[in-house]
Amino acid sequence: MNECIFHDAPDNRREYLLFEIVERAYRGGNRILIFTSDSERAAALDRMLWILRQESFIPHRIIEPGEKIDGTDVPVGIVTVEENPIEARILIADGHCGLDFTCGFDATHEFVDHSSSDRTEACRERFRDYRARQIPVRHVKSGQ
């Protein structure tokens, strides 16, 4: 893994920030995998990618666990399990996944969760875990 970027933004900007990261990576010719913790959140992200910015279409789809696909046909995949069926090099972790999984990507984007002190502390711990594995970590604070 080349690096992990922790994005620190207000909760009400998180989806827009996620969209911007996907859009920038997609326009750069990259395949992107979005990991989220459950099918409801996957559906919400799918909807967000369809409607957030109508002039900026990003081809994507939810990939079911164990589903076999031709990864070259899907530039952006949304998964709820630690699988990379599209051989993406960029991971956007919308939920916490294992560090062994994240290490299989060139870059991982994570988000600082300020919804509770426990969740914020879990993000700090994760930041330290990346550093303990000698993975370069950046903390990027986004505006309001």
Mean pLDDT estimate for the chain: 91
Reported as a single tens digit per residue, the pLDDT across 121-131 is 999 999 999 99
In this prediction, residues 39-51 reach a mean pLDDT of 92
Taking Cα atoms as reference points, which of 109, 105, 139 lies closest to residue 8? 139
Architecture of domain 3-141: 3-Layer(aba) Sandwich (3.40)
pLDDT for the residue 51: 82
3-state SS class at 24: helix
- Strand order across the beta sheet in which 107-111 lies: 61-62, 76-79, 32-35, 90-93, 107-111, 3-8, 137-141
Q: Is 22 exposed, middle or buried (0-12, 13-18, 19+ CB in 10 A)?
A: buried
Reported as a single tens digit per residue, the pLDDT across 88-104 is 999 999 988 999 999 99
